[in-house]
Amino acid sequence: MKNMLKGLGAALCVALPFLAQAPAGAATPAGAGAADQALVQRGAYLAQLGDCAACHTAPKGKPFAGGLPMNTPMGRIYVTNITPDAQTGIGGYTEADFARALREGVAKDGHNLYPAMPYPSYAKVNDGDVKALYAFFMHGVAPVQQANRESDIKWPLNMRWPLMFWNMAFLEKGPYRDKPGKDVAWNRGAYLVQGLGHCGSCHTPRGVGFQESALDESGSAFLSGALLDGWFASNLTGEHNTGLGRWSDEDLRTFLKTGANRHASAFGAMTSVINNSTQALNDQDVAAVSKYLKSLPPVGGNGAPAYTYDPQATKVSLDRPANNAGARVYTAYCMHCHGVDGRGFAPMLAPLAGNPNVLAKDASSLINVTLNGTGDLVINGVPSPFPMPGFAAVLDDKQIADVLSFVRAGWNNGAPAVAAAEVAKLRQSTQAGR
């Protein structure tokens, strides 16, 4: 039950020519001049911070060759090959073809892409960044001949032409425009979060057409948290309990660079985002993203009074765990990492007292991480020494419900109890998705 999520959105892109190491699998452009090499390296930075590899590289697969399965409400799809292979990848794409696919969700042959590819966000990416990304994928990535796999979506739901109407209804074309009255850093952060960063793809609730309910801060639902594939991507607004209201600018910048701070640690899909993407942000962009997110007014939340720490009642239960089923599980499996006081040993071991994800109304992330654990955070090549283990094989549904109810009530967290039926449902869905 270690690393309680305070997820921060999908990977964040950059546009200015601050250089970073190219992602694994990048090829050196043969015969390219200094200017071309700089453009390729700039594109590598954009691709890394856009977390392209996380979706387009399958486990143990070759970089950007596709094949990664993704679950959607209609069925499973498989991410495509975006290496410059002429037959199975995007080697035959012109820059205009590439831009159309990236920003409008239309492939070179004219078929519509599923919006699991977050082109409604990428529509905001400016022409200079598109050019740099194209240079990287054409000249900085090794071509891989690997055929794309058809989706598991059954007919007639697998037909693509209705997506034209989806785009007409929900796609807002045009790159990001600076907001008057906002400074350079705020606009830079807004561009990163809304554009290639596609934070809203996970952290904004979806509407009846599976569209994001808002694409920027003008919509009240923007980044207010959303359930996605068995995880609840947390609230990134200024809400006090479940959002970033208690996070300082330094807290947020630390999380982006390391995946952990005094409030929470990353888990689930956010672990991959930290590992492959946000730790590569340069200092200017970290500051810009933090400034923008910290400017968002509070939205959503759990409706409870502002959280204040109080350990007394929980300490009494832990002193006499025989009287409380959740306390018995906590003392046996959780207390050595998270402590009697619930404050853990941040940032190595996440706190549970006041953790925004513990306080959230939706307990999906807590259930999921307790069942299945999480992958290692790997910062500057060094894995975290204490990854969260999964307890699916050790604890039954009632035991997990008991301990999570204890945690959500403990230390004055005041969050609703978890039912065994909720655990059973998530156990079944996450096992089926493997």
- Does 263 appear as a known binding residue? no
* Secondary structure (DSSP) of 134-187: HHHHHHTB-----PPPPP-PPTTTT-STHHHHHHHHH---S---PPTT--HHHH
**The two structure tokens encoding residue 249:** 């600018």
Give how far Cα 354 sits from Cα of 243, 261, 331, 368, 371, Å: 11, 13, 19, 19, 21
Q: State the residue for tokens 């403990």.
A: 410
110: left (phi over 0), alpha (psi -120 to 50) or beta: left
State how far the Cα of 103 lies from the Cα of 106, in Å rounded to an integer. 8
**The two structure tokens encoding residue 116:** 């699991």
Q: State the residue for tokens 């970073």.
A: 20
Q: Exposed/middle/buried for 31, CB within 10 Å: 0-12, 13-18, 19+?
A: exposed
Cis before residue 23, ω within 30 degrees of 0?
A: no
**The two structure tokens encoding residue 420:** 């065994």
Contact indicator for 429, 359 with CB cutoff of 8 Å: no
- Does 56 appear as a known binding residue? yes
State how far the Cα of 47 lies from the Cα of 184, in Å rounded to an integer. 23
Contact indicator for 238, 16 with CB cutoff of 8 Å: no
- Does 13 appear as a known binding residue? no
Residues facing 320 on adjacent strands: none
State how far the Cα of 163 lies from the Cα of 304, in Å rounded to an integer. 40
Q: Exposed/middle/buried for 142, CB within 10 Å: 0-12, 13-18, 19+?
A: middle
Contact indicator for 170, 109 with CB cutoff of 8 Å: no
State how far the Cα of 348 lies from the Cα of 325, in Å rounded to an integer. 27
Please report, in range form, the residues annotated as the binding site for heme c. 52, 55-56, 199, 202-203, 334, 337-338
Please report, in range form, the residues annotated as the binding site. 52, 55-56, 199, 202-203, 334, 337-338
